[in-house]
Amino acid sequence: MKKQLEKKEMLKLYFWTLSYFKPFILPTFLYVLCGGVMIWGELMIPRRMGYLIDNVLPLKRMEPLINQVLILCGIVVLILIVKSIFNLLEQIISNKITKNQQTDLMVKLQKLGFSYYEKVPTGQIISLFENDVKETQQTYTFLFPQFIYSLAQFTVPSIILIMGEPIFFFAAMVGNIVYVFINQSANKKIHHYLGIETKAAHKSQQSLYDAIAATTELKAMGSKDWFIKRTMEDFNQFRIPRMWSVFWRHFRFTTVGLTLTISIALFYFYGLDLVQSGELLFGEFIGYSFLMGLVSRGFSVFFYIIPAQYQALNYAKYLHEFLNLEPDVIEDDNSLDVQIDKFDVEFKNVSFSYKNNQPIINDVSFTIPAGKKTAIVGESGSGKSTLLKLIGRFYDVTQGEILVGGYDIKQLKLENLRQNFGYVFQDTYLFNMSIKDNIKFGKLGAKNSEVVHAAKRASAHQFIMDTEEGYDTIVGERGVRLSGGQKQRISIARMMIKEPQIILLDEATSALDNVTESAVKQSLEELSAGRTLVTVAHRLSTIREYDSIIVLEVGKIAEQGTYQELMDKKGLFYGLVMRGVENEV
């Protein structure tokens, strides 16, 4: 029963893979038509050869001989021209399908929530684009076209053989049956090793990513030798099954020659006997030999494609599963595209937990007034950063609702909602492009003067001008050429150029020195004038002038008030300040 279900799953997966042909019906039709012309040409050659030998050569006249040779040459030229068109269409269709698949993957990547990236290694995601798309592409570039072509190449000549000389068809099938019998064991081995190979490919891709991304940490910890050994073990888990799967696939090819020899021997044994007895003309015999070759070639390619397609489907399965993942946050089809006038934020009995985990936020209610500055503080793990992500709807609440400007954020279009937000995360990500382009990412199409103004407000202009190419300096992957404080200032400039209505800061100045932080703090105060500012505080002394401070404790609001009110209360917040844990919250 399990085997039957697996076959059904594979069949469903195969039809899903082929569904990418739908947008390209016309070129696919022309592609199939070219294949039909090529098969017609291959069938005409033996017929013309037979006619030439039996009917033209005995006349010993040059004119009909030249005519037949020209016809044969014309058929060959036609096949070559159609073959070129066939190959061109194959590349056009496969490239467009690959582009569509990669586009679908990118769209899905953007739809998936934070939780997916927290659970799935980056290397595994990269493997989807590198290994899985590449291997699946074989379906469009070779496997499906050759499946149809080889099936026709086997079927049509077989019918001609059966209608003409059935004994030749059975001679061909003897070798083919031996081929199938010998390769049953090989196919099982191939399927076994392909399953191991596919899983190991993702793991080895992740190891390669870690080896590149964590080079500094590995050297600093003196662990590079250990990691090299560990990485090579992961590579071996891919390399060894890959080696065996390739071996058994080549083994199948070596058996083609053996089985073809059996068919040829039988063909010549019966064929020459028929020629000698006068039952078969020599030209017909030559024509049938061509048809025998087409039957054997079509059959062998057809049975080569089956396990090869199985391999491609093993990789396509990961694409299919990924593209069918249900995002954590789903935008309703009837979501509102409205102009928000008032940018206050209200939490109403909000609870949140990851799947099958304990609640991170538990029945929280509070209001962040529009145009006011609110700080969120608490011990590590109290849920501070989670609150910010809930406001931007990077997660959906488990219970309750969050309102922005009086609208439930679940009712708003995500793009409409987030265009009003300016985020600065503690873990700053910079693209491997120029400083200018990294800042302009906050406002696509911004003028250079706007970029410079935003950089000055973020206290970044001076260090930018000290770099070798100023604003055109390439920062490297993840901003590796910049310090932590410099990266944070670029990130703050990127947020400032957007001029958001709601500013959300997640320990955005944690990597800055006191002098720079003071300057950035002054710029943030200027930017936030009339805007809503919510920050997860790193240094409690920097939030003295905030309108409200929310103190979290294990996902609940323990205290709320101004800095002075909370200090006078001498509760949890007072304890945090007095214990001097500013760098730990």
Helix (DSSP H) and strand (DSSP E) numbers for the chain: 20, 10
CB 493 within 8 A of CB 463: no
CB 350 within 8 A of CB 403: no
Contacts of residue 107, defined as CB under 8 A and 6 or more positions apart, other chains included, come to none
Q: pLDDT category, 78, cuts 50, 70, 90?
A: very high
State how far the Cα of 584 lies from the Cα of 578, in Å rounded to an integer. 13
Angle between helix axes 62-111 and 282-323 (nearest 10 degrees) is 10
Contacts of residue 158, defined as CB under 8 A and 6 or more positions apart, other chains included, come to 169, 172, 295
* Number of neighbouring beta carbons within 10 Å of residue 234: 18
State how far the Cα of 440 lies from the Cα of 447, in Å rounded to an integer. 8
pLDDT tens, 401-421? 999 888 888 888 888 788 888
Amino acid at 272: L
Among 259-268, 361-370, 554-563, where is mean pLDDT lowest? 259-268
State how far the Cα of 581 lies from the Cα of 579, in Å rounded to an integer. 6
State how far the Cα of 453 lies from the Cα of 442, in Å rounded to an integer. 13
Mean pLDDT across the stretch 501-515? 73
Mean pLDDT across the stretch 542-547? 82
Compute the Cα dihedral for 273, 278, 280, 286 and give only its sign. positive
| Beta strands across the sheet bearing 556-561 | 421-424, 502-506, 532-536, 373-378, 548-553, 556-561
Tokens 């000290």 belong to residue: 466
pLDDT tens, 548-561? 999 988 888 899 99
pLDDT of residue 2: 40
pLDDT of residue 84: 92
Mean pLDDT across the stretch 528-544? 80
Q: What are 422's strand-pairing partners?
A: 503
3-state secondary structure 340-380: CCCCCEEEEEEEECCCCCCCCEEEEEEEECCCCEEEEEECC
Largest CA distance in the chain: 120
pLDDT of residue 460: 84
State how far the Cα of 368 lies from the Cα of 375, in Å rounded to an integer. 10
Residue-averaged pLDDT of the chain: 80
Could you give the 3-state DSSP secondary structure of residue 405? coil
Phi and psi based region of residue 406 (left: phi greater than 0; alpha: psi -120 to 50; beta: remaining): left
pLDDT tens, 264-314? 788 778 778 888 888 878 887 788 888 887 887 787 777 778 777 887 888
Residue 212 has pLDDT above 70, yes or no: no
CA 22 to chain centre: 21
Could you give the 3-state DSSP secondary structure of residue 444? coil
pLDDT tens, 108-122? 887 777 777 777 777
Q: What are 364's strand-pairing partners?
A: 350
State how far the Cα of 455 lies from the Cα of 458, in Å rounded to an integer. 5
Q: pLDDT category, 226, cuts 50, 70, 90?
A: low
- In degrees and rounded to multiples of 5, residue 424 shows phi and psi of -135, 115
Strands 502-506 and 399-404, bridge-based pairing: unpaired
pLDDT of residue 261: 76
Which is more confidently placed, 190 or 361? 361
pLDDT of residue 573: 86
Among 111-120, 143-152, 199-208, where is mean pLDDT lowest? 199-208
Tokens 């006038």 belong to residue: 341
Give me the helices (H) in 372-509, please: 384-391, 414-418, 435-440, 448-457, 461-466, 484-498
pLDDT of residue 1: 35
Q: pLDDT category, 221, cuts 50, 70, 90?
A: low
State how far the Cα of 248 lies from the Cα of 189, in Å rounded to an integer. 7
Residue 81 has pLDDT above 90, yes or no: yes
pLDDT of residue 80: 92
Amino acid at 15: F
Domains with residue ranges and CATH for the chain: 92-323 (1.20.1560.10), 329-420+534-585 (3.40.50.300)
pLDDT of residue 582: 44
Which is more confidently placed, 524 or 66? 66
Provide DSSP, 540-554.
Answer: GGGGTT-SEEEEEET
Residue 335 has pLDDT above 50, yes or no: yes
CB 316 within 8 A of CB 139: yes
Residue 515 has pLDDT above 70, yes or no: no
CA atoms in the 13 A half-sphere facing the CB of 296: 26
Which is more confidently placed, 509 or 375? 375
State how far the Cα of 492 lies from the Cα of 486, in Å rounded to an integer. 10
Residue 263 has pLDDT above 50, yes or no: yes
State how far the Cα of 66 lies from the Cα of 462, in Å rounded to an integer. 84
Mean pLDDT across the stretch 222-238? 69
Tokens 């404080």 belong to residue: 485
Q: What are 536's strand-pairing partners?
A: 376, 506
Tell me the CA end-to-end span of the chain in Å, nearest whole number: 56
pLDDT of residue 581: 47
pLDDT of residue 58: 80
pLDDT tens, 448-468? 899 898 888 888 888 889 888
Mean pLDDT across the stretch 368-376? 89
Contacts of residue 330, defined as CB under 8 A and 6 or more positions apart, other chains included, come to none
Q: pLDDT category, 583, cuts 50, 70, 90?
A: very low
Going by the DSSP 8-state scheme, the letter that residue 508 receives in this structure is T
Q: What are 407's strand-pairing partners?
A: 404
Mean pLDDT across the stretch 128-153? 81
State how far the Cα of 575 lies from the Cα of 71, in Å rounded to an integer. 98
Q: pLDDT category, 257, cuts 50, 70, 90?
A: low
pLDDT tens, 28-50? 889 888 888 888 888 888 888 87
Structure tokens at 109: 């990547």
State how far the Cα of 246 lies from the Cα of 190, in Å rounded to an integer. 8
State how far the Cα of 192 lies from the Cα of 447, in Å rounded to an integer. 58
State how far the Cα of 168 lies from the Cα of 161, in Å rounded to an integer. 6
pLDDT of residue 273: 81
Among 8-22, 99-113, 184-198, 373-387, where is mean pLDDT lowest? 184-198
Q: pLDDT category, 348, cuts 50, 70, 90?
A: very high
Compute the Cα dihedral for 209, 213, 217, 222 and give only its sign. positive
Residue 486 has pLDDT above 60, yes or no: yes
Amino acid at 271: G
- Does the pTM surpass 0.75? The reply is no
